[in-house]
Amino acid sequence: MAAGETATLGGGCFWCLEAVYQQMEGVLAVESGYMGGSLANPTYQQVCSGSTGHVEVVQVKFDPAISSFRDILEVFFAIHDPTSLDRQGDDAGVQYRSVIFYRGDAHRQAAEQTIRELDVEKIWPAPIVTEVRAAGTFYPAENYHRDYFRNHSSQPYCAFVVAPKVRKFREKFAAKLRKEV
């Protein structure tokens, strides 16, 4: 991955998060994978079983001079439901939980502060359940997950689940779009 800061986020299916962050200005690279569980080198099938403790995540490398960690978090909270415990829409299980894996105290504090502020603003009818945890080992997802939305945008899941999140990002964060999008 390219140089810069790293954010590792879980908020449902990694295809959704990957598709959005690939379009964000200041994002240098996005990679889907797994983190947070006990099994080394898990496969997609093992993670989907819910027995590994891993979460589907995206690892986002970004240039903080263009998009800050707070900008990354702002998009994260806008494109998934952080009040749903272990689910996003029809995707249910611990592997779909909302989580921010931080690297360093500054990112931990920013994540916790953002959650406090959003809870106070009462944007959602329920409290935020997003976990804030220290980053562990990142396990890249299998190659067929790479650029999934770009390569399969007409597939039903992409058309009905991923595309609306991409549209929402583009409408809400037009100023944060990459120039080449």
DSSP letter (8 states) at residue 177: B
Is-catalytic flag, 16? Answer: no
DSSP letter (8 states) at residue 160: I
pLDDT band at 171 (very low <50, low <70, confident <90, very high): confident
Residue with tokens 């403790």: 53
> Which residue out of 13, 16, 48, 158 is catalytically annotated?
13
Q: Is the pLDDT of residue 43 over 90?
A: yes
pLDDT in tens, 24-39: 999 999 999 999 999 9
Exposure on the CB side of residue 25, measured as CA atoms within 13 A = 13
pLDDT in tens, 84-129: 999 998 899 999 999 999 999 999 999 999 999 999 999 899 999 9
Lowest average pLDDT, out of 23-27, 37-41, 60-64, 177-181, goes to: 177-181
Structure confidence at residue 177 (pLDDT): 80
Q: Which residue has the higher pLDDT, 125 or 178?
A: 125
Q: Residue 4 in 3-state DSSP? A: coil
Question: Cα–Cα distance between 23 and 19 in angstroms, integer?
Answer: 7
Domain ranges of the chain: 5-172
Protein fold of 5-172: Peptide Methionine Sulfoxide Reductase; Chain A (3.30.1060)
Structure confidence at residue 1 (pLDDT): 46
Average pLDDT, the chain: 93
Structure confidence at residue 176 (pLDDT): 79
DSSP letter (8 states) at residue 24: B
Q: Is the pLDDT of residue 164 over 60?
A: yes
Mean pLDDT of 121-149: 94
Q: Are 75 and 58 in contact (CB under 8 A)?
A: no
Question: Cα–Cα distance between 80 and 65 in angstroms, integer?
Answer: 25
